[in-house]
Chain A
Amino acid sequence: MSNHISETTTHVSFREEKGRYKGIFAWIFSTDHKRIGLLYLYAIVTFFLVGVSLGAAMKLELIAPGKTIMNPEAYNAIFTLHGVIMIFLVVVPGLPAVFGNFFLPIMIGAKDVAFPKLNLLSWWVYMVGAVIALSALFMGGGPPDTGWTFYAPYSFKTNTNMLPAVIGAFVLGFSSILTGINFIVTIHRLRAPGMTWFRLPLFPWTLYGTAWIQILATPIVGITLLMIVGERLFHIGFFDPALGGDPILYQHLFWIYSHPAVYIMILPAMGAISEIIPTFANKSIFGYKAIVISTLAIAFVGYFVWGHHMFTSGMSGTALYTFSFLTFLVAIPSAIKVFNWVGTLHKASIQLEPPFFWAASFLFVFMIGGLSGLALGALATNVHLHDTAFVVAHFHFIVFGGVGFAFMGAIHYWFPKIWGRMYNTKVATRGWIMFFIGFTTLYLPMFFLGIDGMPRRYYDYVDRFHGPNIISTIGSWVMIAGLIIILVNLIRGAKKGPKATKNPWGGKTLEWEVDSPPTLENFEEIPVIKRSPYDYR
């Protein structure tokens, strides 16, 4: 024990706290929600960079028709891995695992989550799942080439090594379920005295909605993936018509999970944006209750729209218009949120700082993502656009634009709280501009390609599609340059940046009342809540 630290500072941050273990073990065996949040962060950022490299390789291949840098086997494996890594290892755990773990207890005035040991177990299960999924790369048969959707019966016919990817995704599901349970119990049981449901900040509200989806939807994908294992190993005919199975059943089961999973990804992103905007507007959020209700509405209606991934699969007409109708309904609460975020800026006093730039650009790219989804929800236009580059563009505007921009906003927003230091805001702004330009240049041309009829998952294409593909590839380079600037700036800030104060942005939620970085137990005394979370009067 170093007496030195305890003499000079009465507050020991969670980063310096001495526990039972030393070195790396003090982290990987820690049950502190903040350390676990950071463990997730480091793992997710690593996987994200792998996913980005794979994506960049795909874009480079597509810069010209014919073979550019790889053969079709490699390309098919790379887009599959890109999808599996980005969806199951990065975006689904994403904001809840990193910022949810770190900030949920602090924002509701608790010392930790309800089940700290379970929380640590979730991280370990996540890592085990990730290792299993990635082992597909190095074991016989070669990496899987089915696309991240593992559609039957192709996934039963291919000789590639798809079982590890499927089993990995199955294990990862448990991590998701355990985190969901933990968050629900934490929000129900550990709110500080006086924090009624309508005094709960909006980020915890979205974590709450997300947690319910995690618990209720994830088991379905678990069962489905087990059925694949049973079919591949024991030839039980669930999905393969050659064995008497039904490939469409697979698609239903897959999307019953994977559609709500999109809301697992986007809801916490919306939550982070709802925190950033009032802080930088120095103003209460507009329509707090409307945002809460739309969060719950999205979480609920989001369960019943999975069929819109299957409009061309041959479902009955009744199924088609029901799913199309429900899909349009789920657009409404998202629109309400956008209006309320923009409304918050009315008569505000806006601090122009990097987290706000990310939040404002989130609104722009999220709107493009959401509005392009309308053309996919309508049946007549869906038939033409389904399985084309248009869908890829739409999806990346929502998941990379929406979730990615919110993640960037969140890390720039909470950075001084997590590391107790500040990054260079000028460099951060430059990185943001570069990333934003690169991102839109990369994905906007894909809308045109899709409208023009270019199918997705295409290794090669006819000459007519060449132009937009060149622009798109150049965009990927600009975006990666922006990403490098952002990362280098953040890493330098965490190591050498100037010390940050308790509340550098003037936020009103509870995390800004504790030390930067927080102490092990966050609060010396549990606060009593007497006001709304965004009281800027």
Chain B
Amino acid sequence: MIDKTTQDASTFVSQVDSAFLFIFGVALLFLFAITAVLVYYIFRYRKSKNPKATHIEGSTKLEIIWTVIPTILVLVMFSYGWQGWKSQKEVPDDAMQIKAIARMWSFAFEYENGIVTDTLIVPKDRPVKLDLKAMDVIHSMYIPAFRVKQDMVPGKESYIWFESEREGNYEVFCAEYCGLRHSYMMSAVKVIPEVDFDKWMEENTVAIDENNEGTNKRLAGVSVLRKYGCNACHTVDGSKLVGPSYKGILGSTRTVITDGVEREVFGDEEYIRRSIMDPNADVVKGYDQGLMLSYKDQITEQEIKDLLEYFQSLSE
């Protein structure tokens, strides 16, 4: 807050920051004034300097003064806070709608034309409404530079909106503790000029069509991984994260635990499908059960095919 680089990152910044400055200013004033009086009294009326205390029991006049003044101040603070917040819930009618999906431990953004990204790309000077959805536990969409935050509660609809006035890259954090890799659950908002945005939209629609025709399977597989946030827990380079790596997953044998019993399985198409639809049936030894949720009814047949092609390329 009160940082020059984010000054007009969103239209809310000035409102929120001025409310903050007012509250902070009043708070500092009181803190310094009361502390100064306190320290002065301690020096002025210490026993060696003032051996005899004067008997005073209180003063109704003072009590009234120091009840009324703080009351007025906090009511002003309340109304500042309320007004600054109200505009965050009044979404303009022409706002562009984007779906934001949170799962352990990644964000995904789905545009109206079907593009899915792991980074939020938005045009400058245009209101954007994010419809928030959580797949597993509570997450919270937090874009500090825009001063917006909203919890993403599974089974509940919620939204935020913003309009950015400055191009740039801004951090997105998950603000509600959501388990093991909570502190790694981040993304970014990329604010670009409207013309560039329209161009990007066009290009990507085309790219997806091409993928569907089977020209670039590798890209298609990567975009599926991004769409479902698989890479939050699985790597493609063989290193261990929350779940096993995809490298060499096809065509190798691994030890899994099925109903508490160890057994060997061969990594084939059936194994991959089972791991996506019923991830806790066979858990690779050395990894925790229960962390991955089923993607049944979410992932399409075409997407599984794309993934398999991609995994094949990782095993070569």
Contact = CB atoms under 8 A, between A and B. Distances in A.
Asked if chains A and B come from one complex, the reply is yes
Interface of A: 72-73, 76, 145-147, 151, 153-154, 157-159, 241-242, 246-248, 281-284, 286-290, 312-314, 317, 320-321, 324-325, 328-329, 331-332, 335-336, 338-340, 342-343, 345-352, 360, 363-364, 367-368, 371-372, 374-375, 377-384, 386-388, 451-453, 455-462, 536-537
Contact of A367 (B31, B47, B50): B31
A375 to B, nearest CB: 5
Nearest to A329: B74
Nearest to A291: B58
Nearest to B170: A453
Interface string B246-274: 00000000000000000000000000000
Contact of B138 (A153, A378, A456): A153
Contacts of B205: none
Given A157-B290, A247-B156, A383-B16, 18 more contacts: A73-B180, A76-B182, A157-B179, A290-B58, A328-B74, A336-B70, A349-B53, A360-B38, A371-B31, A378-B23, A380-B12, A380-B19, A381-B81, A381-B84, A384-B20, A384-B149, A388-B175, A456-B177
Contact of B183 (A72, A158, A284, A368): A72
B286 interface: no
27 contacts: A153-B138, A154-B137, A247-B154, A248-B153, A288-B58, A290-B58, A313-B151, A317-B89, A325-B78, A328-B77, A336-B70, A342-B38, A343-B59, A345-B42, A346-B45, A347-B45, A352-B42, A352-B46, A363-B38, A368-B31, A375-B23, A377-B78, A378-B78, A380-B147, A381-B23, A453-B144, A460-B183
Contacts of A328: 74-75, 77-78
Interface residues of B, number: 88
A377 B183 contact: no
Nearest to B180: A72
Interface in B56-112: 56-59, 62-63, 66-67, 70-71, 74-75, 77-78, 80-86, 88-89
A342 B31 CA distance: 12
B56 to A, nearest CB: 6
B31 A154 contact: no
B78 A151 contact: no
Nearest to A338: B34
Contacts of A380: 12, 15-16, 19-20, 80-85, 88, 147
User: 10 closest Cβ contacts across the A-B interface?
Assistant: A378-B81, A380-B84, A453-B144, A241-B155, A379-B85, A371-B27, A347-B54, A345-B41, A328-B74, A287-B58
Given A328-B74, A328-B75, A367-B30, A312 B140 contact: yes
A447 B5 CA distance: 19
A76 B180 contact: yes
B148 A383 contact: yes
Nearest to B40: A345
A387 B180 contact: no
A388 B20 CA distance: 15
Contacts of B181: 72
B55 A537 contact: yes
A379 B182 contact: no
- Secondary structure at the A interface, as helix, strand, loop or mixed, is helix
Contacts of B41: 342, 345-346, 348, 350
A455 B19 contact: no
A93 B82 CA distance: 36
B35 interface: yes
A17 to B, nearest CB: 37
A158 B290 CA distance: 8
Residue among A242, A281, A345, A368 having the largest count of chain B Cβ atoms under 10 Å = A345
Nearest to B48: A352
B16 A381 contact: yes
A354 B240 CA distance: 54
A277 B27 CA distance: 24
B156 A314 contact: yes
A399 B181 CA distance: 28
A77 to B, nearest CB: 11
B200 interface: no
A455 B175 contact: yes
Contacts of B144: 384, 452-453
Contacts of B179: 76, 145, 154, 157-158
A348 B45 CA distance: 6
A288 B60 CA distance: 11
Interface string B224-263: 0000000000000000000000000000000000000000
Nearest to A287: B58
Residue among A284, A332, A377 having the largest count of chain B Cβ atoms under 10 Å = A332
Residue among B59, B142, B182 having the largest count of chain A Cβ atoms under 10 Å = B182
Nearest to B15: A380
Nearest to B155: A241
Given A76-B180, A451-B1, A460-B183, A377 B81 contact: yes
A340 B136 CA distance: 50
Interface string B281-297: 00000001111000000
